[in-house]
Structures are given as C-alpha cells and as structure tokens.
Chain A
C-alpha cells in the first residue's frame, strides 16, 4: 500500500512546486522591455565607457578581463585546482 502511495505523493509535491515556480515566472518583466530592472546605470556605463576605459572593442572581454579581472583570475585557479584533483585521484604514478 505504501509503495503505491509514494508516486502519488511525489506527483502532488511536484505539482505544488511547479505552481510556485510558475507564479514566480509570471511575475517576471517581459523580455527586452526598456524599463526592465536589468537596464540600469551599470549597463549604460559598460556600453558607453568600455572602449574608452579598457581599449578593447569586445565588451564581454572588457568585463571579464578588466572590470571583473579578479573573478577570472580566481576562475583560472579553480580550473587549475580541479585538474590537480583529477590528476591526484586518477593518474597512475610509479609504484613504490
């Protein structure tokens, strides 16, 4: 009896969670709207001053390698750490 009850309970839980998520999605502003919260002074500053302040045409590169350069530096370190972990666990060394 309990075995049959579990999928039904799971389905009810999924539907309830889905309802909450759908409510959140319905509250989102329309895509590409000028008055969206994402279009604020930060966006304007990057578009207007990125070339002047960094000397790079590609604004994405200007952001990840100049404005947010610390983030990318640590990201490179994360890659390095992950590859070290993989090598430590999987690489076959010389048998002692």
Chain B
C-alpha cells in the first residue's frame, strides 16, 4: 500500500518539481539560483521518478543516448557562446560588449548569460541523471 501512495504522490509532485527547476534555470539572471541549482532540481525530478517506478521505466523516459548528447553538448555550448564575443570583436566570454543585453529585469534579457545558463543547466541535469543511472545499475 505504501507503494501506491508513493507513486501517486510522486506523480502529483513531479510536474511542480520540473517546472520549478526550469523556472530557476530561466530566471538565473534575475533571481537567486541559476544554472547549477536549477539543473540539480530538474535532475531530482527524474531521479525521484526512477526511484519510485524503477530504473527501467526511468531510462525509458530519458535514455543514455540523450543524456550523453546533452552532456557533451553543454560544455561545447559554453565555449561556443564564448566565441560569439570573439566573432563580434569584443573578447572571449564577454557579455555586454559583444551582444545587446536588453532591458534589465525582463525575462529575455542578459544576452549571452541567459543562453549560457540554459546550456549549463541542461548539462548539470544530465550529469546528475547519468551519475544516478550509472551508479545504480546492477550487475
């Protein structure tokens, strides 16, 4: 019976956990939090799901191939965003001198920092999920 309650509670909580994680990632330049904290919260959603429903069903939701892709792409994304500054003639990883930052306080502002936060958040989430699945895989 405990299993039933656990499953229902996780199914109710899961959308809120994921939504809050995405909120923290996207508001990294406005409010406390940011890519690392938000990525962990998104990953906690997946880990919760796999803990309750089993690792096989969790792996169906987010397969190894996708996490590996995001994992490698996140670091590359950060470097590419740094190169944007070089291409605009400002300097590596420069933000305000390279692109328009918009009105401070809006959601879509902050220039490259907004995009970097998004990429690093996805990367941290996939790191945690990969670690969890790799460490819990049984022989």
Find out whether the CB atom of B131 lies under 8 angstroms from the CB atom of A83.
yes
Q: Which of B2-10, B11-19, B28-36, B46-54 contacts A (4 or more CB under 8 A)?
A: B28-36
Given A54-B96, A56-B29, A60-B32, are A73 and B78 also a contact pair (CB < 8 Å)?
yes
Please report the total number of A residues contacting B with Cβ < 8 Å. 28
Instruction: Say whether A34 faces chain B, with CB atoms less than 8 Å apart.
Output: no
A85 to chain B minimum Cβ distance, whole angstroms, is 11
Instruction: Say whether A70 faces chain B, with CB atoms less than 8 Å apart.
Output: yes
Please report the total number of B residues contacting A with Cβ < 8 Å. 36
Q: Is the interface of A mostly helix, strand, loop or mixed?
A: helix
List which A41-57 residues lie within 8 A (CB) of chain B. Answer: 51, 53-57
Beyond the given A55-B104, A58-B34, A61-B117, please list 20 additional residue pairs across the A-B interface where CB-CB is below 8 A.
A55-B96, A55-B102, A55-B109, A55-B110, A56-B29, A56-B113, A60-B32, A61-B28, A66-B95, A73-B79, A73-B82, A76-B120, A77-B75, A79-B123, A79-B127, A80-B75, A86-B131, A86-B135, A87-B130, A90-B134
Name B's A-contacting residues (CB within 8 A): 28-32, 34, 71-72, 74-75, 78-79, 82, 93-96, 101-102, 104-105, 109-111, 113, 116-117, 120, 123-124, 127, 130-131, 134-135, 137
Name A's B-contacting residues (CB within 8 A): 51, 53-58, 60-62, 64-66, 69-70, 72-73, 76-77, 79-80, 82-83, 86-87, 90-92
